[in-house]
Copies of this chain bind each other. A is one copy, B any other.
Amino acid sequence: MPFVKNSWYVAGWSTDFEDRLVPLTICAQNLVLFRTRAGEMVALEDRCPHRLLPLSRGKRIGDTIQCGYHGMTFGADGRCVRVPGQSNLPKSAYVDAYPTLERHGIVWIWMGEPEAADPALCFDMPELADPNWHVHHGDKLHIRANYLNVAENLVDPAHVSFVHPTTLGNAASENVPVHVKTGGEAIVAWRWIRDAEPIGFFKKFGGFSGNVDRWHYYYLHLPSTAVIDFGSADANLALPEEERDKGVRIFALHFVTPVEEGYTIDHWMHLRNTALGDEEASEQMDRMFRIAFDEDKAILEAIHEEEQRPQKRKPIRIAIDKGPNVYRMRIRDMLEAEATVDLGEPVSPVFVQHD
């Protein structure tokens, strides 16, 4: 299955990129990234068109890269600016340049047709710039699995009770039905567990003693950015669905970047309306997230291995699969659109209100 190309994918945190050459692979395309002296992010095809040495093996000279084999040199736009031993610079001497975008401390890269790289298509949410929210960059999770399986897991609240019984879920939710809304800009799956024991995470951070109302909203923005809105409120408040800000509320963000067919990096971070400015709380949350996400990683990698083995029967689909099923259909539509028209029609939604 090919990758959805016409999309902004996260290449890393802003702090990952200084002036050295950074090799990265996204959508099976080897890239070399660096920041110009003016601070702009540059992303080029990481292969000299001459003898194919990766340019990341070369040397940065000003805002150009000099190949480490014979010194051919390329500018930030990918065009060759020097061929040692000759004076003419043939037009065919170039490498592909990829549009980049930097916002909220996150570096994005557009892997599709450059002309279609509209910054307005890049994921954003108002809380990222809102002082009432604490924004904390987490980490990169390397997963030996296909990115669609990783993303699908993020619109699938049903797995939480079984995969994360000590952190993000518990047995109380095993049979609580999942609601799914698939018509809007993002696929949304959610459920409320009313008047139940708080989960490990909120025991720690919410300071709840009695029962709580707990919610999980999974917003999956195509192709592979997830916003998980979860929180808890004292059960006595009987909190209406639209007043979640009155509880302890957290947005966990997952930017799922396909590296190769069987290799994915999940850049994760969170926003919260509690413990603002408390970096120790951030670290504690990271530790709990790490436990939970490593549980996902173990499952996803075992499945990936199993998917490589021969299949005797078709897999089955069950009631809780509604979100993942719609997700797969829409991905197939995006791939079909990219495969059959010049540019593809951008489906990726932008700036969704999480109300």
Contact at A302–B85, with CB atoms within 8 Å?
no
In residues 78-131 of chain A, which contact B (Cβ within 8 Å)? 83-86, 90, 92-93, 96
Cβ contact of A53, chosen from B30, B299, B309, B317, cutoff 8 A = B299
In the bound complex, CA of A253 to CA of B128 (Å) = 63
Q: Which residues of B contact A303 (CB under 8 A)?
A: 51-53, 69
Question: 1/0 per residue A151-163: CB within 8 Å of B?
Answer: 0000010110111
**Is the CB of A177 closer than 8 A to any CB of chain B?**
yes
Shortest CB-to-CB span from A327 to chain B, Å, is 13
Residues of the B chain whose Cβ atoms lie less than 8 Å from the Cβ of A86: 318-320
How close is A116's CB to chain B, nearest CB, in angstroms? 18
CB–CB A163/B72 < 8 A: no
Q: Which residues of B contact A312 (CB under 8 A)?
A: 96
By the criterion CB–CB under 8 Å, are B52 and A83 in contact? no
Q: Does A344 lie at the interface of the complex (its beta carbon under 8 Å from any beta carbon of B)?
A: no
| Inter-chain contact B92/A302, CB cutoff 8 Å | no
B93–A158 contact, CB under 8 A? no
Asked if A174 is an interface residue, CB under 8 A from chain B, the answer is yes
Q: Mark each residue of chain A from 235 to 275: 1 if its CB lies under 8 Å from any CB of chain B, else 0.
A: 00000000000000000000000000000000000000000
Known: A52-B315, A53-B306. 13 other contacts (CB 8 A): A30-B309, A53-B302, A54-B302, A54-B306, A57-B302, A66-B162, A69-B159, A69-B162, A85-B158, A85-B177, A85-B320, A86-B319, A92-B316
